Amino acid sequence: MKILKLLFFLLSLASLIYSQSDITNTLGTGGVFSVKDANNNYLTVTQSSGQVNILNSLQLEDTYNSSTAGVIFKGIDRFIHNFYPTGGIGKNTFIGINSGNFTMTVNAHNNTGVGFHSLEDLTTGNNNTAFGSSSLVNNTTGSANTGIGSGALVYNTTGSNNTAIGGASLNSNTTGFQNTAAGLFSLYQNTSGYDNTASGYSSLANNTTGRENTAIGVNSLQSNTTGFQNTTIGHHSLQNNTGNYNTALGYNAGSTVTSGANLTLIGIDANPTSGSASNQITLGNTFVTSLRCNVTTITSLSDIRDKKNIKDLDLGIDFLMKIKPRLFNWDKREWYPDNKSDGSKMQEQPTAGFIAQELDEVQITENADWLNLVLKDNPEKLEATSGNLLPIIVKAIQDLKKENDELKATTVELTSKLTKFEQMQNMLSTEIEKLEAINNEISRVSLGDQ
């Protein structure tokens, strides 16, 4: 404002026919200084308020290869300008204390910086947009970056094609490229990681070199540093992840995952057997009671070209007879604040199934650990994979069928022999009857002769 007052005073006195080293024009109390013609006021200064009114347009020169022309300063600091050097395309706009600079090269064009020190170190970067205090302040050659929010992309230097929306988003990024962050502290620690997308407060906040991650939701993938190709949607989903190739969908989904890899977790609180588990799919949390689908089986890979050392299974009915099907009521420990069940929350409806410890005991005793009837990744929560019993059940049925067929064959043979025996018995009975008749006749004749 003081600069404008001085400017307009000088303009109004420029018509003086003499020059002086100091010019003073004092307004009386309540007076108004005006610059006008016969019909219009162009500028007024009111003594009582010190207010300067411009009643028409104000034209500034283009800041073309100059540190003074067309520049508005705040004190000694540049405040508004559109600097571009000789030969440059220009189209730059800088608003804010020390926004932009007067040393950028001809390649620095189409840049917009609004905010304290925004785009201050720009050299050759182009097509950058910075809104917010210190946004893209260290950017030099990076291009096509967008930083909106205080401290957005503040340490970016040569990274390009990044978008940061939110205070301190992509704050530490230096050379990383093609990252998108939306939310306070999203992708905050990222340095050289690339192709990451984070949406939500603190999402991917600690990522450093991790790449090709997608995190949507507050604190999602918050602890990820170097992990790559993870995808998560949901509040706190994969919050502690440091592994790779994990996918989580749902509130708190994968929240216990640490170094695990190739995990698919779908549903609220869906988590694997342990934080370091790998190659698992989890559907839902411990409260899920039905798994519904239009088909009743899951198709799995079984091509003979992918198998070696094929032989007949030697486990069958004898193994199955040692398995104990059980009837029980669920009373899960996680339903209690201290993780210790006392029966007060036991479900009334019973269910049928197996006990993991009992399955494990049988497979160990029979030297069949390879069946993997029990998942023991987490010793505090054993899980049964009773579906692995199917080949043994089939083998047992086949063995029983074979035994049944053998019994049938034996029965047929015995029946045949019994029939022959009955036929012989009938023949013998007939012969005996004949002999008895002859014997009776002989006896009668003998008695007649006497």
Q: Mind listing the pLDDT tens digit of every residue in the chain (450 residues)?
A: 444 444 444 445 444 434 556 777 788 898 999 999 988 989 999 999 989 999 988 888 999 999 989 999 999 999 999 999 999 999 999 999 999 999 999 999 999 999 999 999 999 999 999 999 999 999 999 999 999 999 999 999 999 999 999 999 999 999 999 999 999 999 999 999 999 999 999 999 999 999 999 999 999 999 999 999 999 999 999 999 999 999 999 999 999 999 999 999 999 999 999 999 999 999 999 889 889 999 988 888 899 999 999 999 999 999 999 999 999 999 999 889 988 999 999 999 999 999 999 999 999 999 999 999 999 988 999 999 999 999 999 999 999 999 999 999 999 999 998 999 989 999 999 989 888 888 888 888 887 766
Contact of 230 with 243, CB cutoff 8 Å: yes
* Amino acid found at 199: S
DSSP sequence for 56-89:
S-------BS-SSTT-EEETTEEEEE--B-TT--
* Amino acid found at 363: Q
The pLDDT of residue 8: 47
Q: How far apart are CA 353 and CA 367, in angstroms?
A: 23
R_g of the chain, CA atoms, integer Å: 46
Q: How far apart are CA 422 and CA 434, in angstroms?
A: 18
The pLDDT of residue 84: 94
Q: How far apart are CA 444 and CA 450, in angstroms?
A: 10
* Amino acid found at 103: T
Contact of 205 with 220, CB cutoff 8 Å: no
Direct distance between the N- and C-terminal alpha carbons of the chain, in angstroms, rounded to an integer: 173
Could you tell me how far CA 238 lies from the centroid of its own chain? 6
Collapse the DSSP code of 45 into the 3-class scheme (helix H, G, I; strand E, B; otherwise coil) and give the result. Answer: strand
The pLDDT of residue 298: 86
The pLDDT of residue 194: 96
Segment holding 363, helix H or strand E: helix 356-365
Collapse the DSSP code of 359 into the 3-class scheme (helix H, G, I; strand E, B; otherwise coil) and give the result. Answer: helix
Task: List the structure tokens of 190.
Answer: 């990222």
Contacts of 61 (CB under 8 A, 6+ apart): 69, 70
Place of tokens 């540049």: 78
Contact of 196 with 211, CB cutoff 8 Å: yes
